[in-house]
Structure 1
């Protein structure tokens, strides 16, 4: 097995990651990339990184391309991470959704880059805690991620060890059942939570199949993997698929790009609200549906 990644091989990895998923890999990530992709070489019994990349680019093996992207992404999350967003959901977004649903409308929330599922389930817990009656209305949470492996874990709704971080005793009592697994306590989320969330595999860098609009999008600690141009294009697409006055939540170290900022107004800490300029948004939406912005 090759002991190092050549400069040429790393450049190819950078190019593929950027092209397929918009992921930016700095030179400082060589050791991480080597460690993670070495597992793919062993799994396929391929002797070198160059040979692996030749296979990846010529075999048209979509599953291995997914494995490649999964290996390069970091899936770190916990329940109620950056809790101010869930406070905002309680105080501002849920009252808005209540009025909308009472008038016969529908409510849609998107957790984009949901990882192991803690984020969308935290959204569902917040709704059930603050307004349990809304779960009986036309309210749905879409949770997407590029990595099919984390989606399997998310759909299982079972968490153990460090994956349960962020769950208080009160939340565990209300929304979880406990069992023992390999000497540790495993928490399984109750059906009323699981029924609120639909998990789908989605590459944010590719075309989106969703046709309806969202009231809120949580896309936190995701765009840090993208370059500025890709971030700007994604923010404009988010603006096009959000309702006028809809909300976008970003991670603590993320900010809107300069080109996308005119589409939003600041609504709180890393919380943004789309402006109600219908002409601007309708143009953005039309382009977003084609994946051109």
Structure 2
């Protein structure tokens, strides 16, 4: 991949998905896109750049972004967040749900669904009847391929190893009927969770506010300008006193023009009343 080709690809990735690739990542970008060239039967990067820049290449541009997206995930990653949910957040939400209130949780940048299902297992331990109440978890990602994995809810032994044994027996005890050596999520987990393709840079087709938003290890791939646009949008998507959980190397800056209050390591809470 030449410097000019890299400049075109990185510019498109930034414009479409907010992804930032310094020149030092040229070899990485090239290696991730070689398969796209093979699958499209395009013989060189010049032709590929021309194609994804054209109106005819819009679907391939979507697949290009998918190929460039980093999808690292595990169950109960950054476990202190789930402990905080269990002790400080879910008991109150459970009481509200039992009283007939609407509860909504968003896993933004969900990858293959492990984060969303970790949230679901934590919730079901406190509110076993959650799937029969007005409680929903939205799991979204820009990559359509990882959403297929998440929606299926099927994982192998290695992927399930981070789940505590008692939870694994309870929520992933059924061998998959279609994939040898894999295990299917419990129906209660599947029914709680909806997967949707969503680009954080575009308009969010979402109605109503969320009680909790997880957006972890996602905004680190965006530049400061893009991040600073996202924090107020997350605030506005949350109900007053709603919770925002971010990744271990992410922080909501004091200059973000939001009313988030820091409530713990990478844990934020929206003010009880919207700012005016």
TM-score range, shorter chain: over 0.9
Kindly provide the CA deviation profile for residues 112-163 of structure 1, in whole angstroms up to 9, marking residues without a partner as x.
Answer: 0000000001111001112213332211000000000000011111001432
Residue number among 202, 207, 211 corresponding to 2:203 in the alignment: 207
> More deviation in 197-206 or 254-263?
254-263
SS in 1 for 2:213: strand
State how far apart, in whole Å, the 1-side matches of 2:101 and 2:176 are.
Answer: 42
Q: Which residue number in structure 2 is paired with residue 41 of structure 1?
A: 37
2:253 corresponds to 1:249: no
The answer to whether the 8 A contact 1:176-1:187 is kept is yes
2:123 corresponds to 1:127: yes
Deviation of the 1:81 alpha carbon: 0.5
TM-score of the superposition, structure 2-length normalised?
Answer: 0.95
Q: Are residues 149 and 180 of structure 1, via their aligned partners in 2, closer, same or farther at CA, if it must alter by over 3 Å?
A: closer
The answer to whether the 8 A contact 1:111-1:143 is kept is yes
State how far apart, in whole Å, the 1-side matches of 2:224 and 2:136 are.
Answer: 31
The answer to whether the 8 A contact 2:154-2:176 is kept is no
Deviation of the 1:29 alpha carbon: 1.1
Q: Which residue number in structure 2 is paired with residue 21 of structure 1?
A: 17
State how far apart, in whole Å, the 2-side matches of 1:185 and 1:139 are.
Answer: 31
Q: Gapped runs of 5+ residues in structure 2?
A: none
Deviation of the 1:98 alpha carbon: 2.1
> More deviation in 131-140 or 242-251?
131-140
> More deviation in 51-60 or 142-151?
51-60
TM-score of the superposition, structure 1-length normalised?
Answer: 0.89
State how far apart, in whole Å, the 1-side matches of 2:198 and 2:155 are.
Answer: 23
2:230 corresponds to 1:270: no
Deviation of the 1:262 alpha carbon: 4.2
Q: Which residue number in structure 2 is paired with residue 108 of structure 1?
A: 104
State how far apart, in whole Å, the 2-side matches of 1:83 and 1:253 are.
Answer: 15
Q: Gapped runs of 5+ residues in structure 1?
A: 281-293
Aligned residues: 276
Q: Which residue number in structure 1 is paired with residue 86 of structure 2?
A: 90
The answer to whether the 8 A contact 2:108-2:214 is kept is yes
Q: Which residue number in structure 2 is paired with residue 138 of structure 1?
A: 134
Q: Which residue number in structure 2 is paired with residue 221 of structure 1?
A: 217
Kindly provide the CA deviation profile for residues 7-39 of structure 1, in whole angstroms up to 9, marking residues without a partner as x.
Answer: 111111111001000011112211110101111
SS in 2 for 1:81: coil
Q: Are residues 32 and 210 of structure 1, via their aligned partners in 2, closer, same or farther at CA, if it must alter by over 3 Å?
A: same
Residue number among 50, 57, 62 corresponding to 1:61 in the alignment: 57
Deviation of the 1:51 alpha carbon: 1.1
The answer to whether the 8 A contact 1:161-1:184 is kept is no
Alignment root-mean-square deviation, CA: 1.8
State how far apart, in whole Å, the 1-side matches of 2:72 and 2:178 are.
Answer: 22
State how far apart, in whole Å, the 1-side matches of 2:14 and 2:126 are.
Answer: 41
